[in-house]
Structure 1
Amino acid sequence: MDTLNQNISKPSLFSSFVAITKARLAISVVFSTVAGYLLGVESWNSQNWLTLLLLIIGGYCMVGASNVFNQIIEKDLDALMDRTKNRPLPSGTITKQNAFILGVALTVLGLGILYAVNAKTAMFGAISIFLYVSLYTPLKTMTPLSVFVGAFPGAIPYMLGWVAATGSFGIEAGTLFIIQFFWQFPHFWAIGWFLYDDYKKAGFFMLPTGKRDKKTALQIILYTIWMIIASVIPAFGYTGKLFLTKISAVIVVALGLWMLIYAFKLYKEMDAKAARKLMIVSVSYISLLQIVFILDKFLR
């Protein structure tokens, strides 16, 4: 009976893969890449479907690899936090050796697939995984500046899609990068706020001042404002082929103000509940923003 219970409770290979690659996070990142690709495509044909498929698979492999290596490095720290103690590595579901093999395999496969799209896409994919694993991950226990460093690989996926579609990095891709770069700060600081106590157990100090104080809340407001400004720049005709109509710009500003309201609520209430609401709104914001940009392009 004990053996039967163990077999029933033992995670499947698929569920372990989903957990160690952080599938939900990986899918949201791939969504950003797809959005950037759709914005960069000039004319649609059968080849685009193949490129898009390669981008999705290659993108997932690269994000999955980053998450695998991140969990290998943070295995002992993950065991200290309630949020992460049941992940495959700290729970013993997957060994470090097997996780490393998976990470390497996903990296090689992902880079190969992205290179089949074009060389620049593979290059930015490689830069992203390097920054995330080699700089952001170790810095999380050293300095709150880790969020600044992590914002670079976090902002690459949106512009990566444009590069995959056009084969070039210009003002358009740079604008997409800047939009998602500024979004990272209120998003991750909101997470750092409501998970502050859990992060503290592992020695992670993600907030800019290291504390849940008014200065941190004020910085969240300021970066949200910068994010809104960056998001409407395409409406003024300074970003090459990346353009946003005035109607869509109004919608984008409205979405930004919606997020800004929750940033001010956090400043006023100063609690984990308000931070969690801001985090949820921030996730909705970036997805809706990308959808607005796509619809604006194809419906104008």
Structure 2
Amino acid sequence: MLLRYIFAPLLKKAILENVQNLSVTQTNTAKISVVQDFKEITKMRLALSVVFSSVAGYLLGVETVSWSTLVLLAIGGYFMVGASNAFNQIIERDLDKLMDRTKNRPIPSGRMSVNTAFAIAAIFTIAGISVLYTINPQTAMFGAISIFIYVSLYTPLKTKTPLSVFVGAIPGAIPFMLGWVAATNNFGIEPGTLFMIQFFWQFPHFWAIGWFLFDDYKKGGFFMLPTGKKDQGTAVQVIIYTVWTVVTSLIPVFGVTGKLYLTPISGVIILFLGLTLIRSAFRLYKIRDAKTAKELMLMSVLYITLLQIIYVVDKFVRIWI
């Protein structure tokens, strides 16, 4: 009820402003619906991929699946990611105008007002923390930490230092472990391992993106590559962190990560996927062009997705057998 009185006037004003903006800035090619703008300001596809990671972490940690908790985790996780993305686009709205990839986003294109975006971000933040808190306080805490680091640290650092990727890897790695914390209300070696897997994975993934979108990022003044250039130094670091990603992915095979365990068969499958990912990293070192970088990015997405599926399937096959 309190949220209604706080945000209702702001949201009403923001919606009216957005409707006015829509009438002024309609393009000759097509009208982009309010629903589509909502999807874009919250980056729905990215948010759903993050929710997938959280759900995988939950299934790994839980003994008996609670569907209500799983739904709350998915909803709360989506709210938190959507809020982070909306705040990010508010902060970077002027820079987004400079880049081909982002100039047609809702705010820089004029289809959505800053007030509308802020209302969405604020409501999503409060709703996300509240929903995650109903699961357990630790889950809400890690969710809040994630959005704080992403918005307050990572976003402003992107135009100042390549180290922003290191900072951004922290909130990027939280979702996988968040699911385990939601399932167990405990942070230990198991969620810590899940965190490290996704933490190291962030680097080859985002450096590959930074490579093939280098010219566009340069227009916005973003420093995404570790050396600031598409050079041998960056390619070497891509290889190093790719290897670390694969190594951490295989640690559970050796039975040293508590309840998080992986059978040798699954370990062999992940090793094969890992070697394929490493091969893609070496190809970037050898060829160093945008096409190869994009291939590495796509391979990294395939790797983390299949890894999470394999981890979950491995656990439940062991239970059922």
TM-score, normalised by the number of residues in structure 2: 0.90
Quote the residue 2:37 is aligned against: 16
Quote the residue 1:186 is aligned against: 204
Alignment of structure 1 residues 210-229 onto 2, 5 Å = 210-229=228-247
Alignment of structure 1 residues 91-170 onto 2, 5 Å = 91-170=109-188
**What is the alpha-carbon distance in structure 2 between the residues aligned to residue 261 and residue 173 of structure 1?**
28
Partner residue of 1:89 out of 96, 107, 120: 107
Runs of 4+ in 1 over 4 A off after TM superposition: 5-8
Partner residue of 1:66 out of 84, 89, 100: 84
Q: In the alignment, does 2:259 pair up with 1:241?
A: yes
Q: In the alignment, does 2:74 pair up with 1:39?
A: no
**What is the alpha-carbon distance in structure 1 between the residues aligned to residue 241 and residue 256 of structure 2?**
22
Q: In the alignment, does 2:94 pair up with 1:76?
A: yes
Alignment gaps of 5+ in structure 1: none
SS in structure 2 at match of 1:59 = helix
Letter in 2 for 1:100: F
What do the CA deviations read for 1:145-193 (whole angstroms, capped 9, x no partner)?
A: 0000000000000000000000000000000000000000000000000
Select between 8-17 and 121-130 the one with higher mean Cα deviation. Answer: 8-17
TM-score, normalised by the number of residues in structure 1: 0.96
Q: CA deviation at 1:207?
A: 0.3
**What is the alpha-carbon distance in structure 2 between the residues aligned to residue 219 and residue 96 of structure 1?**
38
Quote the residue 2:291 is aligned against: 273
What do the CA deviations read for 1:21-53 (whole angstroms, capped 9, x no partner)?
A: 001110101100000000011123xxx100000
**What is the alpha-carbon distance in structure 2 between the residues aligned to residue 205 and residue 228 of structure 1?**
26
Quote the residue 1:30 is aligned against: 51
Q: In the alignment, does 2:285 pair up with 1:264?
A: no
Q: CA deviation at 1:9?
A: 2.8
Letter in 1 for 2:236: L
What do the CA deviations read for 1:200-256 (whole angstroms, capped 9, x no partner)?
A: 000011000000000100110010111111000001111000000011011111111
CA RMSD across the alignment: 1.4
Letter in 2 for 1:256: G
Letter in 2 for 1:37: Y
**What is the alpha-carbon distance in structure 1 between the residues aligned to residue 128 and residue 78 of structure 2?**
8
Q: CA deviation at 1:10?
A: 2.6
Classify 1:83/1:119 alpha carbon distance in 2 versus 1 (closer, same or farther; 3 Å). same
